[in-house]
Structure 1
């Protein structure tokens, strides 16, 4: 009889009021370690001011999503339901962010990509600090975090219902370089992805449908195969194009010619560095090649004369000369063709995660023999910051982000 009562109690996961049996004080351990990204949730722009991340989450109305998730975790008493709870919360957050970005809500700029980023971090923080009534080891907790994280980025959300439309698969990126006063940074590539996910665009050559996701600025996330998971899974939908998008150089768009198989070691959003050859992602066919050349219709994209920024085709790349030790000594940088046998050092998109997103997406495309799919990388202009160092936003900042994101849409239409 006692065992029956216990089983009945454990089944009452979603009943209102059960959370009172385990209030937040006992449900979460505030001393549990967090990532560097999650620790920035406390950062402010001025002493006594609001924490940037939670404030942006609140302005966009995502604080309710975070609160519902943290309450639901405290009502989750069965281990097998935890993964579903995490993934469902992530998927709901992604759909909410896309709907908001493409809607008419005016309380906060719909082109702002930052609320999704900070709401996600509040949810992963909750998962790291959650103290369930059942045993949960480190590997199981990491799986919960990844499940929520990937779902909240649109990684498993590829769907092309209009079979007659041309299909484009695209990724943007999270904000990055967020230490100190730059914690308020936005990334127009992420804003463009939110504008484009599921969107049907009319072009002179017919309708185009885009499925988009937002990638992390984390070496570890790339090591886990997030790029291959998104683009490799997309191959089954028989798209016409892969486009990776990130923030690049001031004042112009660049279509990058070359992606390089090399990491330059710049710190990621967890202040971690990685230097050397781009590693493989387990479970995906990935041919070993030092450089991958774009197959995007770059001239067509340039000739589309999108505005307000100029669009260039960037030919540059760097290699470690044949016979030298990669990573040591000077690089050879040129604009012609890579030397056979040379090790890649820098792609047109650099040697950071922008370059690596192009490399990984197109490496898996080639490995899966998706030869009819064009692929390449688009770098956006650098987005500035609000003039007032204590302000989260201003009109000029919002207009610049909107102009960049809208031009990404126009360039994707030209693909």
Structure 2
């Protein structure tokens, strides 16, 4: 029994620290989310049933709406839902812990640092979205992390579950689908098993059915599809408070400029897509070539490959935030955890530290809870640009086009 307890990823000090945070977590947050949208949608589901929540004005994916429904059920009344909406932070905080512990536990054979997970759990940049803001960014991020870990370790049925769940938690997780595909192709090249593929498809389909069945049988499935279709273009501005490249390129405030305005023959939105896909291809080339080498040479995945995976995922997360239009201030959040995994594997913490600082400068610069960012948004945007350049340099450090 003692050996089993020692091998569990969750330790007594994790439970103690989680309890401490729950005890001191502020009951306030970003009003429009924590005291308006969340309790309003939870109340709607409580009063009309989960199956009808897409008849409200919600624009969120099903996984979170399931959570809001059960939160309302636990509270038992509209008054308590609104009064205790801050308790949703406790749910989000579980995922902050899950991401940090999953990385530290799965990578422990590659480093010797004790209590490594607390480099995230003591990181205010990492915890800000949950503890101060009251947002759910930790939920899809941790699910993506678990999907990558399971794919790397060939736990493919769990991988199918987490890959599917990540998209239904937040649609922006779609940017990580290429990583899921690359790792899956490698694992199937080692040992092709058609029954395993069928099982993975069944896991994915069952997961989707569980999440979508209330809306399918409740007659609101097409409302869900409408939310998915309209998710791109919901905030048609060049920036929705994300201090990114547009603050460096435009003289006017990007948050006041419609991204459908044309610039040199194309809209700002299309320029953002072009920049994202072009730079993403550049970032992906070493990973694709490295994977191809391992497939052709039948070489196992190792620390170097794992390092490249985490570095590239972090880079793509920053790219998504930095060059696209319609980006919110919180959208650089996933990169903190992804760069943390890279830092643990390499003992190189500069990119992780810069990302933590830049993310905090952006979210508190907009939210102004602590007044931590007295500088112009352009300074934060410049830090993100430095992070991106450093990441691409690191990606190409050991790169070679040679297959053998």
The TM-score, its normalising length taken from structure 1, stands at: 0.30
The TM-score, its normalising length taken from structure 2, stands at: 0.30
Larger radius of gyration: 1
